[in-house]
Structure 1
Amino acid sequence: MAFAGGDIIIFKPYESESITLSYLLNSSVSNKQKYKFGQGHSIVHIYPFHLKKIEIVLPTLPEQKKIAEILFFWDKAIEKQEQLVEKLERRKRAIMQPIMRGKIRLSGFAIKWGDTELGDLLDYIQPTPYLVRDTLYDNKYPVPVLTAGKTFVLGYTNEIDGVFVDLPVIIFDDFTTASKFVNFPFKAKSSAMKLLKAKKNVNIKFVYEAMQQIKYAIGGHERHWISKFSYITIPLPGIEEQNKIAEIISCIDTEIDLAREILGAFRSQKNCLMQKLLTGKTRVKL
């Protein structure tokens, strides 16, 4: 038994495979039709009578079941890879937290750590010269446009002037305090982004990792770096120990990045397969 809220529409198929229908309703062909239904409204609502108008290519029931089996297999592979990524991220946190706090010391280092403000470790640069002008992105373009939020890469632009190349750098959202470590050329989307560069004898990778462990309560809609965040202190070892810890972080991140790349490949392959199977361009053998 399950309960559905007022904004949830429940469909019960007549003589069709429900799993295949769910894939069809989330296909690019169906989504284009749903977007049209939502246009012209300040608050978008899709109603049952809208969804009843969606036109789909529906194969025979045996073929529907076969398609559902194939796509469900890909969903399970994606789910398994997502779990692996989460496992690797949890392992990284378990390894790095005591190291980043100086509770576990690396062999060969004994100098006491001190607490240092972030503003004494990082210089900030305003993003104005590096802001993208046109938001008509295309994956064929060469320059990524970044945000410090979860999306990270918003798209790609063909604007080759004003590209930030003084790498590596930390991009910092001045309103949400989200941050990302970047080691490739890019353009920025938001003027609320701060570009943070390491000062002399500071390993930026180490500082970035320390920033990810900061628990910071965001208040109202205000900028945070200059007035508050830059005054937060982190435990800091000498530069040699910073460099060694950063090497460990990079090794762990390489494994996580590879797992994420595989996850992205699985999702792309499934989407490509969906496009072919759900439009009849590729037929399954029964």
Structure 2
Amino acid sequence: MVPNGWKSIRLNQISETVTSGSRDWAQYYSDSGSKFIRMTNLPRDGIYLKLGDLKYVDVHSNSSDGKRTSLKAGDLLISITAELGKIGWVPPELGEAYINQHTALVRIKKESADSKYIAYLLSSHAMNHKINRLNDSGAKAGLNLPTIRSIPMVLPPLPEQRKIAKILSTWDKAIATTEKLVETSKQQKKALMQQLLMGKKRLVKSNALRSVREGFALSKIGDIPDDWEVELISKHYWYQEGPGVRKHQFTESGVKLFNGTNIQQSRIDISNTSTYISSEEAYGAYSHFLADSGDLVIACSGISVERFDEKIAFIKEAHLPLCMNTSTMRFKVKSETRACLTFMRYFMMSDLFKNQIRRQITGSAQLNFGPSHIAKCFVPLPSLDEQKKIASVLSCVDKEVDILEAKLSHIKQEKKALMQQLLTGKRRVKVAETE
């Protein structure tokens, strides 16, 4: 049912231009010049362009090549290949910019509709689902311009569109502010980790000097306090790689198998796997691969070096029983040594560890390592007391980041629910006569 005062239209009825780029712009890439908006700059959640990874092109709008795809403030952008339906809205401050053949440009008639409202509408879950169903290339994702022009929608009066767009923009600003706080907190944590794990910032009283320890040629760890040790990881920590349980051994019940995909954002989630091994095998031939509560586990295959810190977590009692599987490793502190496993977790999340692994897998952007690589890695170790204090400080920082991320998730969910109500007319806004 169409809400009172709303009209059913198609996108072409409110558009003065619907076009796309039709050329390969890579040959025009430059270190400066006009901005070049690619599909990667379009957000999957929201309408504001992501300009952190921006390309530039040495082409001007008065050239015959670039004039048709030169962007103006308020233009809508739609990804039309690969990831269909990503939406971007061009802000006034963007300046001269262009698109290629993978992106459609929609220029809205100002007297017919509010372009920011249309951007929010197209980015909504319901409309995005509708756009993806318009795929005209079968298995290969693709949208053509006639299909885009025919996208159906129901619109409120123009003043109501503007008011809704203004409300949703306020939520987007809150999201952007919180995202910036999260990113700032993560960068501060990274800097603090570097200081604490290198002994540049001490949590215990010490008059120790700093020096490069024996083994530097292998470890590349650098100068650390003289009262710290530099040891091979294997001296203080026991580690084990998961077995390669074969597909024919998988069962529908028994003991769950743990793999790298179960570690997401430094947390373990075993709800997304239905792969089991029989209890007979788990407690029989594979009993020495059964995880224990408190084990430090990592994914060691198929991930980037930069994001490795997201693939480290602790096994908890609630996760058990659990059997290790391929592409994973677990760590424990050796009983005869004085070491902290939480300290080890933060060390493995740091560049000190990543750089040692990176040098062993030169030529590959993806991590793929095992016990033989760990055996060559060094760890700088202060006293057990200082290890625990470092771990405690960094754990507190993690909790602060968790609180911000939970707040961000809540704001996004609230905005999503509000969009669903406002963009369908289930919740109406009051518009003053002057608006």
Q: What letter is aligned with 2:97?
A: A
- Note the residue ranges of structure 1 that are not aligned, 5 or more in a row: 135-144
Farther-moved stretch of structure 1 (24-33 vs 198-207): 198-207
Whole-Å separation in 2 of the counterparts to 1:63 and 1:118: 63
Please tell me whether the aligned partners of residues 146 and 186 of structure 1 are also in contact (alpha carbons under 8 angstroms).
no
Please tell me whether the aligned partners of residues 126 and 194 of structure 1 are also in contact (alpha carbons under 8 angstroms).
yes
Please tell me whether the aligned partners of residues 114 and 161 of structure 2 are also in contact (alpha carbons under 8 angstroms).
yes
Equivalence map 1:208-227=2 (5 Å): 208-212=345-349, 213=351, 214-215=354-355, 216=358, 218=361, 219-220=363-364, 223-227=368-372
Q: 3-state DSSP class of the match of 1:84?
A: helix
Query: Deviation digits for residues 219-242 of structure 1, max 9, x if unmatched?
Result: 346731233244221212232221
Query: Deviation digits for residues 155-212 of structure 1, max 9, x if unmatched?
Result: 8459697896623523223232522224554599x95541422223432221121122
Q: What letter is aligned with 2:384?
A: I
Query: Aligned to 1:117, which of 203, 207, 232?
Result: 232
Whole-Å separation in 2 of the counterparts to 1:153 and 1:33: 34
Provide the alpha-carbon RMSD of the alignment: 3.4
Residue of structure 1 in register with 2:380 after alignment? 235
Residue of structure 2 in register with 1:280 after alignment? 425
Q: 3-state DSSP class of the match of 1:56?
A: strand
Q: CA deviation at 1:87?
A: 1.4
Whole-Å separation in 2 of the counterparts to 1:151 and 1:62: 46
Q: 3-state DSSP class of the match of 2:385?
A: helix
Please state which structure has a larger fraction of its residues in strand: 2
Residue 61 of structure 1 pairs with residue 158 of structure 2: yes
- Note the residue ranges of structure 2 that are not aligned, 5 or more in a row: 1-95, 209-225, 253-259, 278-289
Q: 3-state DSSP class of the match of 1:12?
A: strand
Whole-Å separation in 1 of the counterparts to 2:151 and 2:314: 42
- Sort the Cα spacing of 1:37 and 1:91 in 2 relative to 1 into closer, same or farther, 3 A: same
Residue of structure 2 in register with 1:246 after alignment? 391
Query: Aligned to 1:171, which of 281, 294, 298?
Result: 298
TM-score, normalising length: structure 2:
0.55
Query: Deviation digits for residues 42-90 of structure 1, max 9, x if unmatched?
Result: 4422222232333223211111101100110000000000111111112
Residue of structure 2 in register with 1:141 after alignment? none
Residue of structure 2 in register with 1:196 after alignment? 330
Equivalence map 1:25-44=2 (5 Å): 25-38=122-135, 41-44=138-141
Q: 3-state DSSP class of the match of 2:312?
A: strand
Q: Percent of aligned pairs with the same residue?
A: 27
Residue of structure 2 in register with 1:74 after alignment? 171
Paired residues in the alignment total: 274
Whole-Å separation in 2 of the counterparts to 1:278 and 1:44: 27
- Sort the Cα spacing of 1:3 and 1:102 in 2 relative to 1 into closer, same or farther, 3 A: same
Q: What letter is aligned with 1:73?
A: T
Residue of structure 1 in register with 2:406 after alignment? 261
Farther-moved stretch of structure 1 (224-233 vs 84-93): 224-233
Indicate the structure (1 or 2) with the bigger Cα radius of gyration: 2
Give the number of the structure with larger relative contact order, counting CA–CA contacts within 8 Å between residues 6 or more apart.
1
